Structure 1
Amino acid sequence: MSTPPRFDRGHTDDLMSFLAASPSPYHAVANAAERLEKAGFRQVAETDAWDASSGGKFVLRGGAIIAWYVPEGAEAHTPFRIVGAHTDSPNLRVKPQPDMGTAGWRQVAVEIYGGTLLNTWLDRDLGLSGRLTLRDGSYRLVNIDRALLRVPQLAVHLDRTANTDGLKLDKQRHMQPIWGLGEVHEGDLIAYVAQEAGVAADDVTGWDLMVHSIEAPSYLGRDKELLAGPRMDNLLSVHAGTAALAAVASSGKALDFIPVLAAFDHEENGSQSDTGADGPLLGNVLERSVFARGGAYEDKARAFAGTVCLSSDTGHAVHPNYSERHDPTHHPRANGGPILKVNVNMRYATDGSGRAVFAEACEKAGVPMQNFVSNNAMPCGTTIGPITAARHGIRTVDIGVAILSMHSARELCGADDPYLLANALVAFLEA
């Protein structure tokens, strides 16, 4: 029997604020941490000894956050219920020597991150965000959220076949944004960013900076039934997972599992980093939680054997102009509810038993569920799901929200789907 939903369109309003305030993975985890702290969670350091206390805790490392809630009386072998997601999105990232220019234009040298749709970055007003590493080893977040940069497109007069033969972009030659006029001076960009961050340029010893569109998220359509915005792949899931974990921890309900949020960085380029899903971060946190509650290897093995992870990432809604690119019998639609992602070649980790887990959660939450399968003639993408399943031996189910324009600088989804997903995640974590 379904329970009343926890979230409504107000959740989508809050998602818009979260997207706007999270132009980089570092901002995303800081904003998720702030929301969890308001729900009573506390940060623990990886370098400290952990205790057996109950309550909500989280670990921050770079652009990743692992948060978990230990109920009163949880045993060392209590299994986990994990919502997995990722904080990074395809974009343009600043190179180590960023100052460059041609023909009197001052430009910023950027490298392409992930599988971005290059043309979506053309002729947009762009800001700059990320983090600075200071001489003392600390970090300073920076968000220059104004029209600072632009990647200008070549006029059609100089590319007469662009509309007939297609736009062809060279990643190196055509994607370097401009940010002014005049002579190029080494160190100018970082000096400017340091000033914006309120630190001395001489104190900056490293940086992880990226370009973002400054256009705010917005409702779209006659009835505002759609949501347009940046980085929904995959901050939509990070936001939903954070909201669901906070709601479960604050509910006062008895829990048979330890609910967890695992939001990783670097999914868009393979997850192989110390903050990616293919790294040791999640396994270390779960093991230390078991051991802090007095457990041994046997308890960890029992806990992992009973653990389930929902890997939540966006999938493809049927595109009205390219419907032939989709599987003819599986047509996920906007505002049709979260999708179950299936690929028998294990590009997604879902199997029949995993489907049953997610179907039960959706039924309990009173949320409709859809199925997503790729067209056999189109290569299938992948997620953190198979990586999590293989690395930790954890039963994993791939789910998400159907969107259009995936990997664009600005994506589109149904405005109801974010809160439908969040309600399903609450039901899953409470099971």
Structure 2
Amino acid sequence: MHLTDDFLGFIALSPSSYHAAAAVERRLTQEGFLRQDDTEEWDARPGGHVMVRGGAVVAWWVPEDASPESGFRIIGSHTDSPGFKLKPRGDLGSHGWQQAGVEVYGGPILASWLDRELALAGRIVLADGSVKLVNTGPVLRIPHVAIHLDRSVNSGLTLNPQRHMQPVFAVGEPDVSIIDVIADIADVEPSDIVSHDLITVPTQHGEVFGAHGDFIASARLDNLSSVHPSMTALIEASKSDDASSDILVLAAFDHEEVGSSSTTGAGGPLLEEVLTRTALALGADEDERRRMFNRSTLVSADAAHSIHPNFSDKHDPVNYPIMGSGPVLKVNANQRYASNALTAGMWARACQIAGVPHQVFAGNNDVPCGSTIGPISATRLGIETVDVGIPLLSMHSAREMAGVKDLLWFEQALEAYLVN
């Protein structure tokens, strides 16, 4: 249960992408990793290094014998989750109610966000240019309409994102703005807040449940269920006496849920910059840097879809995973996932070395397939990539579901990939 408890604690510390990046940095510095400022000279000395940029975090472990003859072993994931982002002018009012004006972020299951106590979490920028992380705690709720007022609510519910998904935070207090609420919690003056990146997150804590405690229920399992195992695998691999001369890298990006096209997303320059600056600091010239990339591999770690007992027709009849049976290899003929035969074999060997079971997901031809950072990073970097994850149910719900054993097995397989 130690890993599960640690994971649930990590989720509680990570209500937004910015908090998740900070939590990873904090854990790694406790383990001896050194903070890297991206405006300073690059540090590729042996040992661990970590850099945060907004809601993204990259860490790398340089072995004693690292050189331009090394490669990179990379685990990529993402820190963001679907939700509702507070608009720049975030106050609405209707019939005496005070509401927060929000915009849909990513692809949430709208109905799952109703009747839950919600926090706003993320960052605020102050008038002096400083940045402060904020987690308001339970201040918002999106109330459902009563069945007495809409008898079709159980048969034909249609939610309009603009009309039906604006949360309430007060009633009969027209002079109170959402910025006032945020400022009070952040212990700053409302006039000091000049901008913000704040997203909703359910405030209900993660729980272990099931007949034998086999399941986890929580917000943000997509994709903290990959970020945390990646982090713990890097920590354990950095302590191993069996590691190769390859540089070990964790890259947890922001904005995957909205396409990854940002300075801190997988489509941006962040990972390439870290790899290139590390190679140069090790003395590589341009040709040697390119050869280092060609020796490298990337594990794109993101959640997978467990077969659903009530919607099994949504899955391929053969290539489906089930919760509690191990991490999942994800493949797609149309390159929505970056796995190929070579990288699939690499992942199978990692699972075999770790002694953990593994499964495969390929989509039903009648059901469109999602995607990950895998194809984006592979295209940008030219590095061989495999897409993997643990199976979830209720993906993109306000409260998702995972398997306890899968989380442990995933960490062990990722560690085996980094070390062996």
Bucket of the pairwise TM-score, normalised by the shorter protein: over 0.9
Distance in 1 (CA, whole Å) between partners of 2:82 and 2:362 is 23
CA distance in 1, matches of 2:260, 2:43: 30
Q: Which residue of 1 aligns with 2:20?
A: 28
Give structure 2 stretches of 5+ with no counterpart: none
TM superposition shift of 1:249: 1.0
Structure 2 letter corresponding to 1:324 = D
Alignment of 1:227-266 (within 5 A): 227-266=216-255
Pair 52,401 (structure 1): closer, same or farther in 2 beyond 3 Å: closer
Report deviation, 1:203.
2.2
CA distance, structure 2, for counterparts of residue 324 and residue 421 of structure 1: 27
Specify the alignment match of 1:285 in structure 2: 274
Contact 2:243 2:418 in 1 (8 A): no
User: 1:185: Cα distance to partner?
Assistant: 3.6
**Equivalent residue, structure 1, for 2:152:** 161
1:150/1:178 contact within 8 Å kept: yes
Shift of 1:160: 1.1
Corresponding letter in the other structure for 1:40? G
Q: What are the residue-to-residue correspondences of 1:178-257 with 2, within 5 Å?
A: 178-185=168-175, 188-257=177-246
Cα distance in structure 2, aligned partners of 1:134 and 1:177: 25
The CA distance in 2 between the partners of 1:265 and 1:384, in whole Å, is: 10
User: Which sits farther off after the overlay, 74-83 or 419-428?
Assistant: 74-83
**For this pair of structures, how many residues does the alignment match?**
420
Contact kept, 8 Å, 1:130 with 1:142, in 2: the verdict is yes
Q: Is the 8 A contact 1:39 1:250 kept in 2?
A: no
Deviation at 1:73, TM superposition (A): 1.9
CA distance in 1, matches of 2:326, 2:251: 22
**Which of 142, 165, 170 is equivalent to 2:160?**
170
1:104 maps to which residue? 96
CA distance, structure 1, for counterparts of residue 396 and residue 280 of structure 2: 40
SS in 2 for 1:156: coil
**Correspondent of 1:347 among 327, 333, 336:** 336
Aligned to 1:343, what secondary structure does the other structure show? coil
In the alignment, the residues of structure 1 paired with residue 263 and residue 222 of structure 2 have an alpha-carbon distance, to the nearest angstrom, of 21
Question: What are the residue-to-residue correspondences of 1:244-323 with 2, within 5 Å?
Answer: 244-323=233-312
Match of 1:131 among 123, 129, 143: 123
CA offsets 1:86-142 (integer angstroms, 9 cap, x no match): 000000110001111100111000000000000011011111211111223221011
8 A contact 2:240–2:419 mirrored in 1? no
**Structure-2-length-normalised TM-score:** 0.98
Are the structure 2 counterparts of residues 22 and 51 from structure 1 closer, same or farther at C-alpha, using a change threshold of 3 Å? Answer: closer
Aligned to 1:87: 79
Deviations 1:3-42 (A, max 9, x none): xxxxxx3111111111111110011011111111121101
**Alpha-carbon separation, structure 2, partners of 1:322 and 1:201:** 48
**Which sections of structure 1, spanning at least 5 residues, go unmatched?**
1-8
Equivalent position to 2:7, from 15, 19, 31: 15
Taking only aligned residues, the RMSD between alpha carbons, in angstroms, comes to 1.1
Q: Does 1:360 align with 2:349?
A: yes
Partner of 2:36: 44
Amino acid at match of 1:46: D
Query: Which residue identity does 1:134 align to in structure 2?
Result: L
Which structure would you say has the larger RCO, counting Cα contacts within 8 Å and 6 or more residues apart? Answer: 1
Q: CA deviation at 1:183?
A: 4.2
Corresponding letter in the other structure for 2:143: P
SS of the residue aligned with 2:379? helix
Summarize the Cα distance change of 1:190–1:71 in structure 2 as closer, same or farther, 3 Å threshold: same
Asked if the contact 2:51–2:57 (Cα under 8 Å) also holds between the matched residues in 1, the reply is: yes
Give 2:404's aligned amino acid: A
